[in-house]
Structure 1
Amino acid sequence: MYEQLLQKKTKLAVIGLGYVGLPIALEFARHISVIGFDINAARVDLMRNNIDPSGELEAQDFEGRDIVFTDSLEVLREATFFIVAVPTPIDEHAQPDLRPLLGASTTMGKVLKKGDYVVFESTVYPGCTEEDCIPVMEKHSGLSFANGDFKVGYSPERINPGDKEHTLARIVKVVSGCDEEALDLIAKVYELVITAGVHRASSIKVAEAAKIIENTQRDVNIALMNELSMIFDRMSINTYEVLEAAGTKWNFLKFSPGLVGGHCIGVDPYYLTYKAKELGYDAKVILSGRTTNDNMGAYIARKTVQMMIKHGKDVAKSRVLVMGATFKENVEDIRNSKVADVIQELKNFSVNVDIIDPHASSDELHHEYGFRLTAPDDMRKDYDAVIVAVSHLPYATLNEDYFKSITSENPVLVDIKGLFRGKIEDMHYWSL
């Protein structure tokens, strides 16, 4: 199959063309023939016109690529090597929502042929590929995995939205296969596009576990920083100054407090704790970290209200400007944005809230969270408090004069990431 891919006698298909799948499809399309498949016809039409619906890629990133975008199963059947890169979110009860993944597995079952390969990239708990996905593919294809009718592998995605340095090709890729033959072919296929090289995991479960602990480790460490920031706040100590001092030690790990949202760090740990619970183990440290991070939005809002009251503001008549609504800086993605928690808690205190963001879509925010962005021309000059919630690049150039120009007398500036630490003299300033 490898030689057939190189000679373009067969095709590679990517199922799910979001922030993970589309870059993968386009990178492979530099070297071999690719089918980009998505069930959303509107998104497919955008990509046919060299537009990335996620806003991460430019039109030139589509140029010169051997790729066909489609939502047709008939076209998808032309491929023999499939990569599944669909979302794996959690539901309202923080339980894994496997519907997109099982839906993609059903799609795979409808197009699978003997000898085909399927590699999953979606973040899952260890065992999900073999225990959940393979049976669905067998059911809908009539093929037998046990008899070797098709091969399966797992290669966790490591795409970091907004990061132009750690791009797909520059990050070591973990790969795994259901047997040695599968592992060898899957590794060779990924080596076509991964210049940083691949790491061959000993099993699919090991690769699944490796992915899920990458984000779980970050989540727990950020939770520690958030808890420290709450402790240091009671001591009137600036957390970032403490971290700078501690960071002079050679083996001190660099983490900082903040809102932990998005579709990875704020989600993946729940997949691991879910599986652990199923096996009879309560993941106390991981869940404790999740609780701390999930409560940070409300904590920041309450701190803002406390400062406003302290400095003579009538909360019910006050107006607060929240700057930034995406889950992280310099991206359009609003999924699981914890800024929404800040806004909701402020509204619980009857605070009037305006929100601005240079990247987010007002319609998407309204659909997801029930609030819209304030247009630049509609911004006020008398905000009682400003919360810089996301460190978007345009905000870094602002100064105290700007904030004073949009606030009332005696205003509060809440700077979640410490972007303006040491630069504010006349306003009441607070950061994590």
Structure 2
Amino acid sequence: MNKKIFDRNIDDVKKSIKSAEISVCVIGIGRIGLPTALSFAKSGLLTTGLDINTSLVEKINSGDFPLKDEPKYDIIFDEVLKNKTFHATTQANEIIPKSDVILLSLPTPMNENNIPDYSALKSVANQLHSLMTPGTLVVVESTIEPGFLENELIPIIDGNDERLESGINYGIGVCPETANPGEIITDFEKLPRLVGGINKKSADIITEIYHHVFPVQLIPMPNCKTANAVKLTTNVFRDINIAFINELSILFEKLGIDTNTVLEAAKTKYNFQVHYPGAGVGGPCLPINSYQFLNSGKQFDDDLLTIIKASRKRNESMPHYVIDMINETLSQNGKLLKNCSLLIMGVSYKPNVKDIQLTPAEIIINKLKDQGAILKIYDPYFKSSTVFGIETENNLEDALHKVDAVILLTAHKEFLKIEPSFLKSTMKSPIVIDTRGVFDVSAAKEAGLIIRSLGRKF
């Protein structure tokens, strides 16, 4: 068949997918884009990963899998390279014109004013206007606010000429990614996906392709903006509820109530969804998703979304609360933060991934530096490297020697196995500030540790 995918009827689309006659280009092969591309390639579809990061492309094409903390994808990576159904490139002008399906898996970060930054998507949209041929299908997996695709992205791709007309001679829609870093293979195999299209034909073709690649339920949405609204709603729900629990944890501390005990009992009620307190909320999703909704609300009324604003304020305050915890605990034990030797345990924004995007650890580390503390960092995912200007430690036991206190910021699974007696016997001074509830407070005290745990009586 010479026709591109959007020029075909749905029966021909099904046949071409089954016979692997369509080509796929995934633009943006980072944390989510690369596993997505590998999933498409594993399904038998000839897939190319397009990225401006030359070193990443070279690493991938040399057979070096870059996401060591994503279980099982290393095996898929080796398989699709061997079968030659996947490769990476930086050459947009070569791959975009001949691709049947173009997936956009690009970052949507915030700028310094907490305004969503869609510059990567807009830049690629300009490339699509110049390079894409009629008959192509575009699928946006990036997380965007409702209306961005319809009001900003499509007008850039269409341009001012008549060569490309969305819904007429090329298709476009969304299938927002649903992956949790560190568990992407599980999520891709189990979590339902949302499908929205600029028109029915776009949505139908997206559905057929994703049915071929992912063994999950595909939920049809009435349009693209509704699908994007659902994606944001699920993540902002978490941001709000974490803020609620963070706020309660501070109250419970003052009341002498153990937050973890409250949560364990509360989650026995059928309609309670448990969230846990911590040093803050980081990563490329939750903080940004809240600001995407807030950005959407600005066009209508500044008084809209006050709950989201308050939640962001609380979660953004948590690193500063941790600094207060550290100062108070040290002071109560006759120590000053200035010239105090502290070991930071964990800098990733969440457990068991190598990722420091918007991690609250950065704020805490910078504040501690400003106050004159002497810092060490140990994180099993960042051994013998430089993080936030500090050379990280290679071995936990060695790192614990001669420190005045430990500050646990990330609940990596390695840390869950640590016995309080090990800390007591290894540390110069047995002070522990636990922001993630990793250690049992009673057991820690019995072992001789001086412990302050967020949201727990002390």
Considering the TM-score relative to the shorter chain, is it more than 0.5? Answer: yes
Where does 1:17-28 land on structure 2 (aligned, <5 Å)?
17-28=29-40
> Which of 289, 307, 315 lines up with 1:268 in the alignment?
289
Work out whether residues 327 and 336 of structure 2, in 8 Å CA contact, stay in contact via their aligned partners in 1: no
Where does 1:230-249 land on structure 2 (aligned, <5 Å)?
230-249=250-269
Change (3 A) 1:165 1:138: closer
> Which of 331, 338, 356 lines up with 2:360 in the alignment?
338
Q: What is the distance in 2 between the residues matched to 1:361 and 1:213?
A: 36
Change (3 A) 1:165 1:23: closer
> Which of 329, 344, 355 lines up with 2:351 in the alignment?
329
Residues 167-223 of structure 1 deviation map (CA, whole Å, 9 limit, x = unaligned): 312211111111111111111111112212200111001001111111100000000
Work out whether residues 125 and 153 of structure 2, in 8 Å CA contact, stay in contact via their aligned partners in 1: yes
Query: 1:362: Cα distance to partner?
Result: 6.2
Query: 1:406: Cα distance to partner?
Result: 3.5
**Structure-1 residue corresponding to 2:67:** 54
Q: What is the distance in 2 between the residues matched to 1:76 and 1:389?
A: 43
**Structure-2 residue corresponding to 1:357:** 379
> Which of 436, 440, 451 lines up with 1:417 in the alignment?
436
Residues 368-393 of structure 1 deviation map (CA, whole Å, 9 limit, x = unaligned): x4333234386252222111111111
Any idea what SS the aligned residue of 1:79 has? coil
Residue identity matched to 2:76: D
> Which of 186, 189, 203 lines up with 1:169 in the alignment?
189
Work out whether residues 232 and 293 of structure 2, in 8 Å CA contact, stay in contact via their aligned partners in 1: yes
1:312 aligns with 2:312: no
Residue identity matched to 1:197: Q
**Structure-2 residue corresponding to 1:280:** 301
Residues 77-113 of structure 1 deviation map (CA, whole Å, 9 limit, x = unaligned): 2211111000100011111111111122122223211
1:385 aligns with 2:400: no
Where does 1:402-413 land on structure 2 (aligned, <5 Å)?
402-409=422-429, 411-413=430-432
Stretch deviating more after TM superposition (143-152 or 312-321): 143-152
Work out whether residues 5 and 33 of structure 1, in 8 Å CA contact, stay in contact via their aligned partners in 2: no
Change (3 A) 1:16 1:9: same
Structure 2: give runs of 5+ residues left out of the alignment.
6-12
Where does 1:53-92 land on structure 2 (aligned, <5 Å)?
53-57=66-70, 58-65=73-80, 66-73=85-92, 74-92=94-112
Q: What is the distance in 2 between the residues matched to 1:150 and 1:242?
A: 54
Q: What is the distance in 2 between the residues matched to 1:357 and 1:128?
A: 38
**Structure-1 residue corresponding to 2:417:** 397
> Which of 145, 159, 171 lines up with 1:151 in the alignment?
171
Stretch deviating more after TM superposition (120-129 or 356-365): 356-365
What's the RMSD between the two structures over aligned residues? 2.0
Work out whether residues 19 and 56 of structure 1, in 8 Å CA contact, stay in contact via their aligned partners in 2: no
Q: What is the distance in 1 between the residues matched to 2:251 and 2:167?
A: 58
Query: 1:354: Cα distance to partner?
Result: 1.1
Residues 33-63 of structure 1 deviation map (CA, whole Å, 9 limit, x = unaligned): 1111111111111111333333344532213
Residue identity matched to 1:297: P
Residues 337-374 of structure 1 deviation map (CA, whole Å, 9 limit, x = unaligned): 11111212222322222111110366563xxx433323
Q: What is the distance in 1 between the residues matched to 2:316 and 2:198?
A: 36
**Structure-1 residue corresponding to 2:18:** 6
Stretch deviating more after TM superposition (123-132 or 352-361): 352-361
**Structure-2 residue corresponding to 1:217:** 237
1:374 aligns with 2:386: no
Q: How many residues align?
A: 428
**Structure-1 residue corresponding to 2:9:** none
1:105 aligns with 2:125: yes
Any idea what SS the aligned residue of 2:298 has? helix
Stretch deviating more after TM superposition (4-13 or 209-218): 4-13
Any idea what SS the aligned residue of 2:273 has? coil
Q: What is the distance in 2 between the residues matched to 1:337 and 1:142?
A: 45
Change (3 A) 1:364 1:93: farther
Q: What is the distance in 2 between the residues matched to 1:142 and 1:354?
A: 59
Change (3 A) 1:131 1:372: farther
Residue identity matched to 1:21: G
Residue identity matched to 1:28: F
Work out whether residues 166 and 198 of structure 2, in 8 Å CA contact, stay in contact via their aligned partners in 1: no
Residues 205-264 of structure 1 deviation map (CA, whole Å, 9 limit, x = unaligned): 100111111110000000000000111111122211121222232322211111210001
Query: 1:417: Cα distance to partner?
Result: 1.5
**Structure-2 residue corresponding to 1:160:** 180
Stretch deviating more after TM superposition (64-73 or 176-185): 64-73
Residue identity matched to 1:270: Y
1:293 aligns with 2:300: no
Larger relative contact order (Cα-Cα within 8 Å, sequence gap ≥ 6): 2
Work out whether residues 116 and 292 of structure 2, in 8 Å CA contact, stay in contact via their aligned partners in 1: yes
Residue identity matched to 1:298: H
Work out whether residues 86 and 104 of structure 1, in 8 Å CA contact, stay in contact via their aligned partners in 2: no
Any idea what SS the aligned residue of 1:118 has? strand
Q: What is the distance in 2 between the residues matched to 1:371 and 1:101?
A: 33
Query: 1:317: Cα distance to partner?
Result: 2.9
**Structure-1 residue corresponding to 2:206:** 186
Change (3 A) 1:277 1:37: same
**Structure-1 residue corresponding to 2:8:** none
Change (3 A) 1:373 1:140: farther
Residue identity matched to 2:297: A
Change (3 A) 1:415 1:141: farther
Work out whether residues 25 and 95 of structure 2, in 8 Å CA contact, stay in contact via their aligned partners in 1: no
Q: What is the distance in 2 between the residues matched to 1:109 and 1:304?
A: 54
Structure 1: give runs of 5+ residues left out of the alignment.
none
**Structure-2 residue corresponding to 1:256:** 276
Q: What is the distance in 1 between the residues matched to 2:105 and 2:185?
A: 21
Residues 116-138 of structure 1 deviation map (CA, whole Å, 9 limit, x = unaligned): 11010111110011111112212
Query: 1:141: Cα distance to partner?
Result: 8.0
